[in-house]
Amino acid sequence: MIKFANEKMDRNAPCWCGSGKKYKHCHEAFDEKIREFELKGAVVPDRSLIKTPRDIEGIKASAKINIAVLDEVGSKIHAGMTTQEIDDIVYNTTVKMGGIPADLHYEGYPKSVCTSINDQVCHGIPSKDVVLKDGDIVNVDCSTILNGFFSDSSRMFCIGNVDPSWKKLVDVTKECVQIGLEHVIPWTYLGDMGNAVHQHALDNGYSVVREIGGHGCGLEFHEDPYVSYVSLPGTEMLMVPGMVFTIEPMVNMGTDEIFQDEGNGWSIYTVDGKPSAQWEIQVLVTETGHEVLSY
C-alpha cells in the first residue's frame, strides 16, 4: 500500500493553494500528475513544499536584500580586511534594508554570515582575528529573512593574486552550479541535476562533498528536500513547479573527506588541507524550467 504524499480533496472545495478557485479548476490535474509519478515509485513533494505566487513574491523581496548584501560585500572585500568586518557589512546592510540575517543565533550560530577561507569547506565563523590575505579564496554565505520569508545564496571571492589552479577550482565550481541550473526541469529528478553537477567536478579532477548539500528554502531556512550533488539520475525527489531549493555544491581540489572543528562545533575543513570552493543559488522550479531567485 502506497501512503500518498498528498491527500485526495473534494473537487468542488477551494484549492489548497489559496487561489480561491475550485480545486477541480486549479491544482487537481497537477496533483494527479504527481500521483502518477508516485505510483511509479518516485519520491514526490508534499503540498507544503509547493510555493504559492504570494510566497514567491515574499521570497523574491527577501532575495532582493540577500543579493544586495553580497553585492555590498563584493564591492568592499579586500586583502587586510578581517572577516568580522564582512560580518559587520552583512549585518548592517541587511538591517538597514529591513531584513534579519538568518544565520544569527540559528541553532546557536554566533554571527550573521559564514566566511569560509581556502581549506574551510563551509561554516567559517567571522572573527576580528581572521585577516584576509593575498591569494586567499573565500566563500561568503549569506541568508536573509524578510517578513518571514527566507533567501540564501553565496559567492566566492578571490583576494588579490590567487594561484591559477585555485582560480580554476573557483571557476569550475561556478560552472557546476550553472550546469545544475540547466538541469532544473520540472517533472525530472533532483538526482538528474545532482549527477550533472558531480560529473562536471569529476571531469575536472575534483571531488564533491557528500555529507552536506542544499535544501528547500523559502518559508523556513532549511526545508525538505535535502539536495545532494553526488546523486544518481532518476533518483531523489521529483522537481515540481513551485518548489524552491538551493544549488550549493562544495567542490574540493583533493579528497572529498571533511572534518568538523571541535573547538567551535561549526566550521568544516578538508581532511587533506587542500582548498574547497562553493557557490550557492536559490532557484524556483517553473512550468517551463526554472527561475533564479537569489545568487
Distance of closest approach, residue 81 Cβ to ligand MF3, in angstroms: 20
**Measured from the CB atom, is 207 or 246 closer to Co ion?**
246
Q: Which residues bind ligand MF3 (CB under 6 A)?
A: 103, 106-107, 109, 114, 123, 141, 143, 152, 248, 266, 280
Q: What angle do CA 270, 275, 279 make, to 5 degrees?
A: 100
**Measured from the CB atom, is 103 or 236 closer to ligand MF3?**
103
Q: Which does 106 bind (CB under 5 to 8 A by kind): ligand MF3, Co ion, none?
A: ligand MF3
Distance of closest approach, residue 59 Cβ to ligand MF3, in angstroms: 15
Distance of closest approach, residue 13 Cβ to ligand MF3, in angstroms: 36
- CB-based burial label for 124 (10 Å; 0-12, 13-18, 19+): buried
Q: Which does 27 bind (CB under 5 to 8 A by kind): Co ion, ligand MF3, none?
A: none
Q: Which does 103 bind (CB under 5 to 8 A by kind): ligand MF3, Co ion, none?
A: ligand MF3
Mapped onto helix, strand or coil, the DSSP state of residue 235 is: coil
**Measured from the CB atom, is 7 or 107 closer to ligand MF3?**
107
Q: Which residue has the cell 502506497?
A: 2
Q: Which residue has the cell 515574499?
A: 58
Q: Which residues bind Co ion (CB under 5 A)?
A: 152, 246
CB contact at 8 A, 237 and 228 = no
**Measured from the CB atom, is 246 or 270 closer to Co ion?**
246
Measuring CA to CA, which residue among 134, 109, 132 is closest to residue 122? 109
**Measured from the CB atom, is 30 or 106 closer to Co ion?**
106
Distance of closest approach, residue 113 Cβ to Co ion, in angstroms: 12
Contacts of residue 283, defined as CB under 8 A and 6 or more positions apart, other chains included, come to 181, 184, 244, 245, 246, 247, 290, 291, 292, 293
Q: Please tell me the distance from the alpha carbon of residue 109 to that of residue 269, in angstroms, as a whole number.
A: 17
C-alpha dist (Å) from residue 272 to 11, 202, 230, 267: 58, 18, 20, 15
Distance of closest approach, residue 71 Cβ to ligand MF3, in angstroms: 17
Q: Which does 123 bind (CB under 5 to 8 A by kind): ligand MF3, Co ion, none?
A: ligand MF3
**Measured from the CB atom, is 159 or 217 closer to ligand MF3?**
217
Q: Which does 85 bind (CB under 5 to 8 A by kind): Co ion, ligand MF3, none?
A: none
Question: What sections of the chain are H helices per DSSP?
Answer: 28-39, 53-76, 83-96, 164-182, 190-203
**Measured from the CB atom, is 5 or 121 closer to Co ion?**
121
Distance of closest approach, residue 80 Cβ to Co ion, in angstroms: 29
My answer on whether omega of the bond before 275 falls inside 30° of 0, hence cis, is no
R_g of the chain computed on alpha carbons:
20
Q: Which does 256 bind (CB under 5 to 8 A by kind): Co ion, ligand MF3, none?
A: none
Distance of closest approach, residue 101 Cβ to ligand MF3, in angstroms: 9
